[in-house]
Structure 1
Amino acid sequence: MTNTSFGIRASLLGATMLAAASAYPAHAQDFPSEPIRIVIGFAAGGSTDTNTRALANAAEQVCDADIVISNQPGGSGVLALETVRNSEADGYTMATTPTEISALKHLGLSDVTHEDFKAVMRFIFDPHGFFVRSGSDYKSMDDVINAAKNGTKIRIATSGPASPYAVTFQDVARAAGVSGQFVNIPYQGDALAIPAALSGEVDLIVTNASNVVGQVKSGDFVPLGVATDERIDVMPDAPTLKEVGIEVTGGSIYGLAAPKDTPEDRVAALNDCFKKAFDSESFQSFIAKTGVNPAYLGAEDFDAYLTDEYTRYGELLKTLGLAKN
């Protein structure tokens, strides 16, 4: 399981040991001495779970540590984020930080924000797309928009009430002049939302493009549009929203964060390990197969990104009339 020493664990003798002891705090020298737990706020099998497990599996191959995944779905990631926020700040517990962390407080769903955490790293950005099941009456985004303009309520499956997918589709509704006609049908993660869309419980789904590559290739899902500036390699036939006259882009991010009082040396050790995992052949192979976009940011840059996103989401949600705080 181990090829590279995790963080700053070492076994040194004599003067070398004394030098090491003076270089690092005492609590850092034997970190980690127990499994690292990553808490995921969505059901097993969804994109947050799948992406995090791929990184964790790679980390176990390159770092001297055991990693345990804990799924705590509920409230668009609120349960997991609050669990980690309230955990001991010792480096042994992290959350997968979904895009929702930038929206929860603005929507009045929780008081949890990025300020409750110490950023460790960002590892993926995944563009959003609009998808319908094969045989749907909606063959294009124009069909969806025209139906909405004629008074039809469009039921859209997402991964939760604060889902970034919902923010993207509400932004599309605003841009297309059909605000109020798109209805969010929230599920506890993509693993439940996708079957609902395939079964006809809803009219369409907005989700990460990588989540449904297999269903698009099999013909079970038809892509109506992706929220990117350019077409994506894994779905070259899917038009961008901009191609159909809707100037909206959007996507989901995945990162890792620890409780805010976690010591800096342990954050650095965690970042070092998971950056090695990110660069590993196994994780890069996973990225190539799934079509997600690798998007590494270190701790400082990820913290700055989360701060900017929190401000951006606040302004966007106010524009959409969705902000509560």
Structure 2
Amino acid sequence: MNPRTIAALALSVLGLLSLHAHAAPADAQAVTTIVVPYAPGGPLDTTARALAEAAKGELGTIIIDNRPGAGGNIGLGQVARAAADGKTLGIAAVATIAINPWLYQSMPYDPAKDFAGVTLVARIPNVLVMNSDAARAKGIESLQDLIAYARQHPGKLNYGSGGNGSAGHLAGELFKNMAGIDAVHVPYNGASPAQLALLSREVDFNFDNLAAAAPNIRAGKLTPLAVTTLEPSSQLPAVPTMAATLPGFAIDTWWGLVVPAGTPEASIARLNRVFTEALGGRDIAQRFEMLLATPAPSTAADFDAFMHAERERYAPIVKATGAQVD
């Protein structure tokens, strides 16, 4: 074989190798972990798994690590202690970032210093729901009926939440405070166990996020009495707001992706691009729609600013309820 032929073959082989390297995912052998600080099966877990599926083509293997407990503090504390290498993300939510710092006496992380935002994922109204059979048995058809019943039966009602410090817990305490009623809080280890307790009538009512409650509202098993946003929800247009009866009542649920503080800006930018592109995809939109959730992608800087603003907003709300967790 003459030298020209050998050179041509060598160039062809190099070209093929270059093409293969370009076509293959850059992190095909990498492992990325998304820590979900709540039990499996809830909307945060469901959306995290949907995002992992959508992003695996570029990031490689993505593991969902559920670490429930202490209102989400255990799981997010794990993220805060992880290596800042772009390989560990966490699902941060209104409870873990904006509520728990004012609710808990001690925290395993500093929400203002230990994380960098990647992107907001979703914002969803909370909804006050009752077991439909229980509501009928008690003659409750509206928020006003529930308040009247609670006043006539002081201390006899209880409500569930996804844990101490969750948005559902805070909403319940704010409701009690503003309505002048008494009800016992029963914390569960995540949104799914709390909803199962409501369906089995272990508790009388819950403040659940609409994503979690939607399937059982559709099935007629749960009755929505009010949404917790200042404006009515487009998903439940016939359901009044809490503020219509209790002026100023406003709490919603949001969650997003964070990484440990100190993660290189280039890694954050890449993760933001990958996950915001995923959130803009048709498959994600369809999966979120089943949860009555709307994807809410953002820049990393905007998510950082949003989390700061939410911490400031919830400080007086938590103080007004008098809620506290040791």
* CA spacing shift, 1:72–1:245, aligned 2, 3 Å: closer
Displacement, 1:246? 4.3
Letter in 2 for 1:321: G
1:224/1:239 contact within 8 Å kept: yes
Provide the TM-score with structure 2 as the length reference: 0.84
Question: d(CA) in 2 for partners of 1:312 and 1:246?
Answer: 17
User: Which piece of structure 1 moves more, 109-118 or 39-48?
Assistant: 109-118
**Alpha-carbon deviations, 1:160-206, whole Å to 9, x = none?**
0011111122222222233xx13221111111111100111001111
SS in 1 for 2:250: coil
**Relative to structure 1, is the Cα distance of residues 32 and 174 closer, same or farther in structure 2, using a 3 angstrom cutoff?**
farther
Amino acid at match of 1:281: R
Match of 2:222 in 1: 221
Name the count of aligned residue pairs: 295
Could you tell me how far apart the structure 1 residues matched to 2:189 and 2:59 are?
A: 33
Whether contact under 8 Å (1:156, 1:204) holds in the other structure is yes
Give the whole-Å Cα distance in 2 for the aligned partners of 1:324 and 1:49: 24
Corresponding residue number in structure 2 for 1:129 = 127
- 1:228–1:249 CA contact under 8 A, matched in 2: yes
In 2, Cα distance between equivalents of 1:318 and 1:300: 28
Residues 276 and 298, structure 2, Cα contact 8 Å, conserved in 1: no
Q: Provide the rounded CA distance (Å) in 2 between the counterparts of 1:320 and 1:203.
A: 20
Residue 277 of structure 2 corresponds to: 276
1:100 and 2:101 correspond: no
| Aligned equivalents of 1:215, 1:304: Cα separation in 2 | 35
Question: Any gaps of 5 or more consecutive residues in structure 2?
Answer: 1-13, 19-25
Residue 324 of structure 1 deviates from its aligned partner by 7.3
Does the CA contact (< 8 Å) of 1:144 and 1:154 recur in 2?
Answer: no
String of CA shifts for 1:218-244, please: whole Å, max 9, x gaps: 111111111123332333332222333
How many angstroms apart in 2 are the aligned matches of 1:32 and 1:158? 39
Cα displacement (A) at 1:96: 0.4
Classify the secondary structure of the residue corresponding to 2:256.
strand
Q: In the alignment, what sits opposite 1:9?
A: none
**Partner residue, 1:47:** 43
1:258-297 superposed matches below 5 A: 258-297=259-298
Spell out structure 1 runs of 4+ moving beyond 4 A: 30-33
Deviation at 1:109, TM superposition (A): 4.8
Matched, 1:58 2:61: no
Cα displacement string for residues 74-96 of structure 1 (whole angstroms, at most 9, x for unaligned residues): 11111111111111111100110
**Of the two, which has the highest radius of gyration?**
2
Identity rate of aligned residues, in percent?
29
Q: Structure 1 residue 267: deviation in Å?
A: 0.8
Q: CA RMSD in A?
A: 2.1
